[in-house]
Chain A
Amino acid sequence: MTSERARQLFDAALDDELDPETKREFHQALAADPMLRDDFHALRDVVHGASALQQAVPSVDLLGQVQEKLRARSGGRFYRDRFSEKQGRSPLLLWIAGGSLLLVLVAAVWLSFEAGLVTR
């Protein structure tokens, strides 16, 4: 394989698209031509470096602001409940839980009165 042909295959080599025979010839061409090898390695380093850029971006938390914007733009139709949406818990469940707890408390107080434990 000529150096010129090998140079044309740089991208295919980086994308691992060469068949085994062509890959073998490609690496032989690199071994025989130091300048070609240096150029390929320089390109490979750029691609690997760009690949590492993915890790360089810190995580971001957009959910709250997206919810605020949706609430504002929908006139309150969506994300009306500001407190329970962070991890996706349904507000209805919270209302049911709160209401049940309140009923239990009221029942406990009423039963206490009935049993004479607490005087009016």
Chain B
Amino acid sequence: MIISTISPFDSATAVLGKVFGARSLRLTRAGRSMLDAADLELVERLKRREEAAFNAFVLRYQDRVFRIVLRMLGDRAEAEDLAQEVFISIFKAIDSFRGDSQLSTWVYRVATNHCRNRLKYLSRRRRQLTHDFDEENAADSQAQGAPDRPGTPDRLLEARQTEALLEEGLAKLDDEQRELIVLREVEHLSYEEIMAITGLPEGTVKSRLHRARTALREHLERRERGRVR
């Protein structure tokens, strides 16, 4: 009877728990201090595989996960697929979360690891990064209709052009630089969180971020010069 309740979705500790009647591995004492009460309860419910808790978890993090994955991969269809896989991995691996970081940091770490693996796979298949947002933004601007105030369309157009150039520049960065720009500039994470997510020391994070910022700036300047001509 016990054996029939064990599935591939159970971690080793959960299996032992079922066999010996104990709950899955609890958070360490240090882990408990890292999480606020709400996150603590959520993690405990996730470890019990409560579907309602997992629903709430997905709804809370899906936009953030999708943003990171989309900015890393540059392709919406790939990003939707990979973002789903991130949550499935979390569902299966939640027992491994000991609370030694914030829950959000751990989620980001899982997402960035998935991105790295997918990018390696895609580069082996020699896929080019694509951009879906230029078309979407063009459709949005057409759908919005006439502005109420004079000058607004020019500002909107300029903002969207800048956005498109930035996305283009982001795609041209190497994977490590893009990851840091996404985590720091787009997601506004602290250096401590970025170090926890990437496993890199502070000096490496800052020097790579500096090169990434400079590369983005140079890309925009080149494209601006090209537009002016």
Contact = CB atoms under 8 A, between A and B. Distances in A.
Contacts of A24: none
B94 interface: no
A69 B83 CA distance: 12
A53 B167 contact: yes
A47 interface: yes
Interface stretch (B28-36, B58-66, B106-114, B120-128): B58-66
Given A47-B213, A63-B55, A70 B91 contact: yes
Contact of B186 (A54, A59, A65): A54
Contacts of B67: 54, 57
A89 B52 contact: yes
B49 A53 contact: no
A47 B214 CA distance: 10
A70 B88 contact: yes
Contact of A53 (B58, B71, B209): B71
A53 B169 CA distance: 12
28 contacts: A42-B217, A43-B214, A46-B213, A49-B220, A50-B186, A51-B186, A53-B163, A53-B170, A54-B67, A54-B186, A56-B137, A57-B71, A58-B136, A60-B62, A61-B62, A62-B80, A62-B83, A63-B55, A63-B62, A65-B84, A66-B84, A66-B87, A78-B49, A78-B51, A79-B51, A85-B51, A85-B52, A89-B52
Given A56-B133, A62-B80, A74-B7, 8 more contacts: A43-B214, A54-B67, A54-B186, A60-B62, A65-B84, A67-B55, A73-B9, A89-B52
Interface of A: 10-11, 14-15, 42-43, 46-47, 49-54, 56-63, 65-67, 69-70, 73-75, 77-79, 85-90
Interface of B: 7, 9, 49, 51-53, 55-56, 58-59, 62-63, 65-67, 70-71, 80, 83-84, 87-88, 91, 133, 136-137, 159, 162-163, 166-167, 170, 181, 185-188, 191, 206, 209-210, 213-214, 216-217, 220-221
